[in-house]
Structure 1
Amino acid sequence: MSDALEIRNLRVAVDGREILKGVNLVVPKGEVHAMMGPNGSGKSTLAQTLMGHPRYEVLEGEVLWKGQNILELSPDERAKLGLFLAFQYPVEIPGVVLGNFLHIAYQAVKGEEIPIGKFNRLLMQKLRLLDMDTSFISRNLNEGFSGGEKKRCEILQLAVLEPEFAVMDETDSGLDIDAVRIVANAVNTIYEQSGGQIGFLIITHYSRILRYIKPLHKVHVMMDGRVVLSGGPELAEELEEKGYDWLEEKLKAEGVLA
């Protein structure tokens, strides 16, 4: 059984239009990888496909995790296997208290009941870990939250559910630099608390959040629905400095892109 998330020749369509055109990627458990790329390259499509959004039609390929092709599993089955997705645009759910939501989600993912008192102690521990105010959990889920609060709510869910592999879909989108630093530090803390056992795929358009992620093992670049380049953390800074146009022109000259 491979101890990695392995994507093989993944082709995905949305509303009849092919977006992912043969994605190949391996992210070992316990490593932190980043996926960068220009808007429209397929990054968020990849994230949504990994967690089983019904709008995304898999045309070909497989995604292996713990010896299983997770594309054959429902979203809740994938979550029970230890996968987690932090959304780019978390939705508001009026009338659902965050603390209650987390309690129900925890029991659903872990497949076991936990008394509310015991769960609340766990929740308080995670709030302290992330330096979050306890009043946060008495509010309705994302209702009236700022952009930064919504993203911190996603991080709290990550901390509570303790997945083995987390996909962060442009978690830094729309955040100011202070909020980006807070989110990155929370990711670092969760990674450290796991003893380096959790895997991360951080999907982002810009390198700014990656400057605060420690460790960052590898950076991948997606263009036109495929992973076209991989490298170390320095690749993110090069893209920040030069943009994506130079790389696109280079890859076209090499015949990698049409």
Structure 2
Amino acid sequence: MSVLEIHDLHATVETPEGTKEILKGVDLTIRSGETHAIMGPNGSGKSTLAYSIAGHPKYEITSGTVTLDGEDLLEMSVDERARAGLFLAMQYPVEVPGVTVSNFLRTAKTAVDGAAPALRTWVKDVRGAMDNLKMDQVFAERNVNEGFSGGEKKRHEILQMELLKPNIAILDETDSGLDVDALRIVSDGVNRAKESTDVGVMLITHYTRILNYIKPDFVHVFVNGQIAEQGGPELADRLEAEGYERYLAGAK
């Protein structure tokens, strides 16, 4: 069993107005097989939490700890965090001109596992995963995310997750920009990964619609850089009915 433990995490970012504290003491533990939904309004710090854990240089950790299976993630480089079993599906996946999807995926798998996968098995795995995500096989020879629609980019993120088999996956607004069909396909991909590898999932979202397909074990309300409340799936239903206003009033 893998365990991601976040304790009293504080992080800042540089803005035109100066240094701004975004994370203000976050405590969260995610174990293998668990799905934690992080819900909150725009600007509450959800994406900052994701990128801080992943090691984005824009964000400076000023205090607190983040460990994965007892190892200090904050002392690791980004690639070391990936090899330790951490995965981030980005809200805005970047284009990588000149690098095909097939080369990108096999290079990433080799880097994470420390050895290149057997070619025949790998090709079969990639084709099967693409079929499951209803991605045309021609995408394997296209440049990474170049000319992809928003939905295609998000499917490619989940394709990576299925093939890299992380211990802990952070999904940053994977549902944004998806129509109903794409949302169902992407959600099915996450659920397949959970069933096959028992991955622990941090699912960042504004809305409850993705939770109709990916059932959370825990829901955390994130407001003003902190977890304001946590509970079970019923908390998401209450948020859908009431919104975030009472939390925002308390944070002022």
TM-score by structure 2 length?
0.94
Q: Sequence identity, in percent?
A: 52
Conserved 8 A contact 1:93-1:140 = yes
**Other-structure match for 1:21:** 24
* CA distance in 1: counterparts of 2:170 and 2:21, whole angstroms: 22
| Structure 2 residue aligned with 1:7 | 6
CA apart distance, 1:42: 0.4
Residues of 1 paired with 2:23 and 2:243: CA distance? 22
Contact kept, 8 Å, 1:103 with 1:116, in 2: the verdict is no
Please report how far the alpha carbon of residue 134 of structure 1 lies from its aligned counterpart in structure 2 after TM superposition: 1.8
| Residue 240 of structure 1 pairs with residue 243 of structure 2 | no
* Post-superposition offset of 1:115: 4.3
Equivalent residue, structure 1, for 2:227: 227
CA contact (8 A) 1:36 1:221 kept: yes
Deviation at 1:132, TM superposition (A): 3.0
Provide Cα deviations, 1:84-115, integer angstroms capped at 9, x if missing partner: 00000001111211011101010001111234
The match for 2:56 is 53
Gapped regions of structure 1 (runs ≥ 5): none
Mapped to 2, the partners of 1:224 and 1:179 lie a distance apart of 31
SS across alignment from 2:237: helix
- Structure-2 change in CA distance of 1:142 and 1:3 (3 Å): closer
Q: Report SS of the residue matched to 1:35.
A: strand
Tell me what 2:157 maps to. Answer: 154
How far did residue 207 of structure 1 move?
1.0
User: What's the counterpart of residue 100 of structure 2?
Assistant: 97
**Which deviates further from its counterpart, 121-130 or 18-27?**
121-130
CA RMSD of aligned residues (A): 1.4
Distance in 2 separating the partners of 1:115 and 1:242: 51
Distance in 1 between residues matched to 2:229 and 2:32, nearest whole Å: 21
Q: Show the counterpart of 1:210.
A: 211
1:142 pairs with 2:141: no
Per the alignment, in what secondary structure is the counterpart of residue 163 of structure 2?
Answer: helix
Question: Match for residue 30 of structure 1?
Answer: 33
8 Å CA contact 1:169–1:203 kept in 2: the answer is yes
Aligned to 1:109: 112
* C-alpha separation in 2, matches of 1:247 and 1:58: 25
Partner of 1:67: 70
C-alpha distance in structure 2 between counterparts of 1:103 and 1:123, whole Å: 9
8 Å contact kept, 1:94–1:140: yes
Q: 2:151 and 2:161 mapped to 1: Cα distance? A: 15
* Count of residue pairs the alignment pairs up: 248
Aligned equivalents of 1:41, 1:99: Cα separation in 2: 36
Structure 2 stretches lacking a partner, 5+ long: none
